[in-house]
Homo-oligomer: A and B are copies of this chain.
């Protein structure tokens, strides 16, 4: 196993680091914008770069079904296809498949399901998940895991953990590309004994990074924070730690304080499209669709230097939403991604200065 991850400084449990891939490196802590179907909704990659994104995530499930990993490969691979020159991480497709509750059938071998696009039968195995990601040409691939729901029983979670472990080993066996990292995933729901076991089992395998799966999947926030209070520390110290699919700015600083390095979430773009703008100051966010903004000549955030805030007023963006103009969701997505990128930059600076705890407390107060 190559050591692509370098920890440059720690501040209590928070870590400042850098991860290197075949398409360049990214600093940690960091946040990956989600390009589900090979585009971050409404935002071209020039804008993504301007926003300071250092790594982008794509969804294996969606690209496998359409346009197909082989099509993308024949067009020169995912970097050329999506015109993103930096690092790309793909999920394994597992999370999406296990969200299709009605139409899947799980076995030791893999998971059978019907495509949400045309109803055709599909069969995803750990080996195929790795093959698809290798064919896409991503820099970091994820193992196929089972993602149990947030309210599942200890019994179910325990059985599931065994399967996820056996699948993880099969993924390592299946991997052929040397210039692609493979990350393992820990499950175990909200159960301390299972999280401990998952950390030990996945941590010992030959992965270049370890992801925490199965959080923010329906469990109460307090339970997620409880797991975050001990689980990241159970993971190998030298490997990058990636918390999948989380979350709000508050969740991110909470996880970083517990030693997490990397995140992805649709939150900034999706909630932006629905009208939520994350802001600095006393309140953590506003809803731009609210009538109170209809006459406001303030920018979304007075302390923000993003394109939306430099150019347009709250009243204008409020009008864009009322008039159902595409520019509304676009400007909100740009603003929120800028907010997340700036948050990560500020976090890294705080760790560098040994002042993360101070930063953390300031952020937490805004969410009370």
Q: Which residues of A contact B (CB under 8 A)?
A: 37-39, 41-46, 62, 66-67, 71, 74-76, 81-83, 294-295, 297, 307, 311-313, 315-316, 318-320, 322-323, 325-327, 329-331
Residues of B within 8 A of A45 (CB): 311
Among candidates B46, B66, B294, B315, residue contacting A322 with C-beta atoms closer than 8 Å:
B66
A327 to B43, Cβ gap below 8 A?
yes
Residues of B within 8 A of A307 (CB): 44, 46
Residues of B within 8 A of A322 (CB): 66-67
Among candidates B81, B294, B312, residue contacting A313 with C-beta atoms closer than 8 Å:
B81
B76 to A316, Cβ gap below 8 A?
no
A38 to B316, Cβ gap below 8 A?
yes
Given A44-B307, A46-B307, A71 contacting B326 (CB threshold 8 A)? no
Rounded to whole Å, the gap between the CB of A56 and the closest CB of chain B is 13
Residues of B within 8 A of A323 (CB): 37, 62, 66
B326 to A41, Cβ gap below 8 A?
yes
A326 to B327, Cβ gap below 8 A?
no
**Closest partner residue, chain B, to A329 (CB atom):** B326
Among candidates B39, B81, B83, residue contacting A325 with C-beta atoms closer than 8 Å:
B39
Among candidates B44, B62, B83, residue contacting A330 with C-beta atoms closer than 8 Å:
B44
Residues of B within 8 A of A81 (CB): 313, 315-316
A66 to B295, CA, bound (A): 12
Residues of B within 8 A of A42 (CB): 42, 326-327, 330
Rounded to whole Å, the gap between the CB of A135 and the closest CB of chain B is 15
A312 to B37, Cβ gap below 8 A?
no
A39 to B76, CA, bound (A): 36
A82 to B44, Cβ gap below 8 A?
no
A83 to B37, CA, bound (A): 31
A38 to B311, Cβ gap below 8 A?
no
B326 to A326, Cβ gap below 8 A?
yes
Please, could you name 25 A-B residue pairs with CB atoms under 8 Å apart, sorted by A? A37-B319, A37-B320, A37-B323, A37-B325, A39-B325, A39-B327, A41-B327, A42-B42, A44-B307, A44-B311, A44-B330, A46-B311, A62-B323, A66-B323, A67-B315, A67-B319, A71-B294, A74-B295, A76-B297, A81-B315, A82-B316, A83-B316, A326-B326, A326-B329, A330-B330
Residues of B within 8 A of A44 (CB): 307, 311, 327, 330-331
Residues of B within 8 A of A82 (CB): 316
A74 to B326, CA, bound (A): 24
Residues of B within 8 A of A316 (CB): 38, 75, 81-83
Given A295-B71, A315-B71, A326-B330, A320 contacting B39 (CB threshold 8 A)? yes
A311 to B83, Cβ gap below 8 A?
yes
Given A39-B325, A319-B37, A313 contacting B75 (CB threshold 8 A)? yes
